[in-house]
């Protein structure tokens, strides 16, 4: 569209008109914008307004107003040269390059930063320049992106890349191990991915599409999952590569250049899936990577370059296994010596004596076999101890946890996915339970800690301070520094360990929802129709029933049922608190399905697109995603039913 021409008005009743009206009225927040857009591609003429809302710069003043405009930094010639190389329309070049040079210069002066071309700021400004923003808005948007979305230490061997390696190892240990063997660290290929938010290699329109979704996510860590998907999709090629290290790095580094616009939706969908399979501690324990410099002044003493695997907080371990649905759930493996485990342990933890790895390798191998079998049984039975994510717990004392680290390395060498370590070990668990008891239920301790003698111990009795278990809270701080050994055995018979584990999982836990009110169900569901699942499945007009998980844009998954009738497809979302009942989440006519897609690497994740045809093509009105076991059978049946509907309409 030529400059000065106005975009044609959107058709009445369309989401674009709703978005335009909301933006025109003013006072529009990000949540309102997201609800209207629903992951669809932004119109070019509304992008600037949406991005400004997402970056929270609407109404911000002109930060450059008090600046004298002097372009006199020692590295000014480098800044000027880099700005001149930016590709912009020739008739606008002089004005735009001056704006860009001014933004960079003022940022360096106000933040006391020395400019270098390798920072990649020119590429970060490129998508903003295409919005034709006033200089004040250009600076405010650039500042917001630098502050909110570019991590600290985004340079070679920087902390953000050590964190990414841990994420890669968590989900793709085989690929991570292969790259480690080749000494291909993430900073060698992903420095410009992270530093430019993919604008370094992607085309302008692809970059805009990525930023449309990323800025609306309002989650700076989401880029890690976009980066992860690039490697996951290239896994087969990487593992089969026979070229030298430099060629492989170049292949990876430039791979975002291959993105097309139609790839972006799947990129985000898969990223959201992996995001939902990642412990929340990944974000919470590393939040200081992003944000203002004041928040980052308190240095994290964790050296991620030396971390054996991803660490998970004990509070998340306890919280996660109380949740319903398909979120991250942990199978906790207590690796302390037998006498410490017997004295007291997390009631749902499986014991794997790490000392056996060297002292009795054959018994250790049998214990590992029993561990995996117990994990499988607990998942199948729906036990609160069940989880596909293995979390290893030591004592929390470095010298005692040496053998546990060897056990961890053993599982990682076997390319076991979803392996983590409980941050701070059993000491941290004790301290956490002592802390929450200050404001929580007074009788809570006995439900968390157990002993192999069969009695439930309070935290204090495990520590030896209060044998009667009355626990008035006194002396709780001392429990993190000492432990009285209640039972001394060299090791526990493997079969007995398994039976004790299963017995312990049946014991009720303290209600944790009162401590974490965020786990309550969404109020929006209260307005939806509630139906009996079995009654609907048995309806004579229901031809197929496919148990599945509905996958939302934010990666959240909800146990559901897809019911297919002769003319429609229904999604019934199960109500966790009301067994056998469900909400009618959606009702779609089969003749409105315009596309059914899946990814080669994730065939169980199915996307349904609904819309209608008009003179200008197909208009997508809704998108739904489901994780369906045996998805091939489901999609085949649905497609056949769609063909019957279309044949009937034609006749």
Which pLDDT band, with edges at 50, 70 and 90, does 324 fall under?
low
At residue 8, the pLDDT reads 61
Q: What is the pLDDT of residues 196-217, one digit of tens each?
A: 999 999 999 999 999 999 999 9
Average pLDDT (73-96) is 87
Tell me the CA end-to-end span of the chain in Å, nearest whole number: 43
State phi, psi for 441 to the nearest 5 degrees. -60, 140
C-alpha span between 199 and 53 (Å, rounded): 20
Decide if 590 contacts 642 (C-beta within 8 A).
yes
- The confidence band for 295, taking pLDDT boundaries of 50, 70 and 90, is very low
pTM of the model: 0.70
Closest among 552, 553, 549 to 39, alpha carbons compared: 553
SS3 306: helix
Residue 623 contacts residue 611 (beta carbons within 8 Å) = no
Q: What's the pLDDT at 476? A: 27
User: At residue 523, does pLDDT exceed 70?
Assistant: no
Give, in order, the Cα–Cα distances in Å from 313 to each of 281, 297, 404: 6, 22, 17
Backbone angles phi, psi at 645, to 5 degrees: -65, -45
CA 464 distance to own-chain centroid: 41
Q: For the chain, which domains are there? A: 32-149 (1.10.8), 159-196+220-289 (1.10.472.80), 309-436 (3.40.250.10), 530-650 (2.30.29.30)
Please, what sign has the CA dihedral across residues 264, 213, 524, 593? Answer: negative
Cα 6 to its chain centre, rounded Å, is 40
pLDDT band at 601 (very low <50, low <70, confident <90, very high): low
Phi, psi torsion values for 234, nearest 5 degrees: -95, 5
Lowest mean pLDDT among 11-25, 338-352, 517-531, 576-590: 517-531
Question: How many CB atoms sit inside 10 A of residue 495's CB?
Answer: 10
Hey, how many other C-beta atoms are within 10 angstroms of the C-beta on 589? Answer: 12
Worst-scoring range by mean pLDDT, 371-380, 470-479, 574-583, 628-637?
470-479
* Residue 642: per-residue pLDDT: 87
**Is it the case that residue 261 has pLDDT exceeding 70?**
yes
Predicted confidence at residue 399, as pLDDT, reads: 77
- The whole-angstrom separation of Cα 76 and Cα 94 is 16
Q: Dihedral angle at the C-alpha atoms of 142, 148, 152, 156, nearest 10 degrees?
A: -60
609 phi/psi in degrees, rounded to 5: -115, 130
**Cα–Cα distance between 441 and 435 in angstroms, integer?**
12
Confidence class for position 278, pLDDT limits 50, 70, 90: very high
The rounded mean pLDDT for the chain is 81
Cβ neighbours for 230, distance < 8 A, ≥ 6 positions apart: 193, 252, 255, 256
Is 535 within 8 Å of 580 (Cβ atoms)? no
Predicted local distance difference test score (pLDDT) of residue 51: 95
Sign of the torsion formed by the C-alpha atoms of 59, 65, 71 and 73: negative
* Burial (Cβ within 10 Å: 0-12, 13-18, ≥19) of residue 13: exposed
Q: In this structure, is the dihedral angle defined by the CA atoms of residues 284, 166, 265 and 269, taken in order, positive or negative?
A: negative
Q: How far is CA 542 from CA 133, 535, 537, 547, 578, in A?
A: 54, 10, 6, 14, 23
HSE of 21, CA atoms in CB hemisphere, 13 A: 10
Distance, CA of 324 to CA of 34 (rounded, Å): 26
At residue 428, does pLDDT exceed 80? yes
């Amino acid at each position: 569209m030529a400059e000065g021409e106005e975009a044609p008005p959107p058709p009445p009743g369309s989401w674009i008109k709703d978005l335009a009206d909301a933006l025109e009225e003013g006072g529009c927040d990000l949540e309102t914008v997201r609800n209207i857009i629903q992951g669809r591609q932004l119109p070019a003429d509304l992008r600037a307004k949406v991005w400004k809302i997402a970056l929270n710069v609407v109404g911000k003043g002109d930060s450059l107003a008090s600046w004298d405009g002097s372009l006199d930094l020692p590295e000014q010639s480098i800044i000027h040269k880099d700005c001149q190389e930016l590709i912009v329309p020739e008739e606008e070049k002089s004005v735009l390059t001056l704006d860009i040079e001014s933004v960079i210069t003022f940022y360096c002066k106000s933040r006391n930063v020395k400019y270098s071309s390798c920072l990649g700021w020119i590429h970060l400004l490129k998508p903003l320049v295409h919005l034709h923003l006033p200089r004040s808005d250009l600076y405010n948007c650039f500042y917001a992106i630098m502050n909110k979305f570019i991590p600290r230490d985004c340079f070679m061997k920087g902390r953000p890349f050590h964190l990414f390696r841990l994420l890669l190892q968590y989900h793709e240990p085989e690929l991570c191990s292969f790259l480690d063997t080749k000494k291909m660290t993430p900073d060698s290929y992903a420095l410009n991915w992270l530093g430019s938010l993919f604008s370094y290699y992607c085309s302008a329109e692809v970059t805009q599409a990525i930023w449309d979704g990323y800025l609306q996510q309002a989650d700076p860590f989401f880029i890690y999952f976009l980066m992860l998907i690039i490697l996951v999709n290239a896994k087969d090629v990487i593992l089969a590569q026979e070229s030298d290290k430099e060629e492989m790095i170049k292949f990876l580094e430039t791979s975002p250049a291959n993105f097309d616009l139609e790839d972006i939706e799947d990129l985000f969908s898969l990223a959201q899936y992996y995001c939902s399979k990642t412990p929340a501690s990944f974000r919470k324990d590393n939040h200081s990577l992003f944000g203002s410099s004041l928040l980052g002044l308190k240095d994290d003493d964790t050296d991620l370059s030396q971390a054996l695997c991803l660490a998970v907080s004990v509070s998340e371990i306890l919280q996660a296994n109380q949740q319903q649905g398909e979120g991250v759930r942990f199978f906790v493996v207590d690796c302390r010596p037998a006498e410490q485990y017997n004295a007291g342990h997390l009631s749902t933890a499986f014991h794997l004596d790490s000392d056996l790895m060297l002292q009795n390798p054959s018994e250790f191998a049998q214990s590992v076999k029993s561990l995996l079998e117990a994990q499988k049984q607990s998942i199948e039975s729906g036990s609160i101890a069940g989880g596909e994510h293995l979390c290893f717990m030591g004592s929390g004392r470095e010298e005692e946890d040496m053998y546990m680290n060897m056990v961890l390395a053993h599982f990682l060498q076997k390319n076991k996915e979803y392996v983590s370590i409980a941050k701070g070990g059993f000491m941290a668990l004790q301290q956490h339970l002592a802390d929450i008891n200050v404001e929580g239920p007074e009788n809570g301790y006995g439900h968390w800690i157990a002993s192999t003698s069969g009695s439930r111990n309070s935290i204090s009795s495990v520590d030896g301070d209060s044998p009667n278990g009355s626990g008035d809270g006194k002396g709780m701080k001392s429990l993190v520094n000492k432990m009285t050994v209640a039972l001394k055995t060299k090791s526990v018979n493997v079969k007995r360990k398994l039976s004790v584990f299963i017995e312990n999982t049946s014991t009720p836990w303290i209600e944790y929802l009162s401590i974490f009110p965020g786990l309550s169900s969404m109020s929006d569901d209260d307005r939806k129709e509630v139906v009996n699942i079995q009654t609907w499945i048995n309806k004579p007009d229901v031809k197929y029933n496919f148990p599945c998980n509905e996958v939302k844009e934010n990666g959240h998954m909800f146990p559901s049922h897809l019911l297919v009738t002769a003319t429609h497809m229904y999604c019934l979302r199960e109500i966790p608190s009301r067994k056998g009942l469900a909400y009618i989440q959606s009702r779609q006519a089969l003749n409105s399905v315009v596309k059914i897609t899946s990814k080669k690497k994730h065939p169980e994740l199915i996307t349904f697109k609904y819309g209608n045809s008009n003179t200008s093509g197909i208009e997508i009105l809704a998108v739904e995603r489901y994780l369906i076991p045996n998805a091939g059978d489901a999609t085949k049946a649905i497609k056949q039913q769609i063909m019957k509907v279309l044949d009937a309409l034609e006749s």
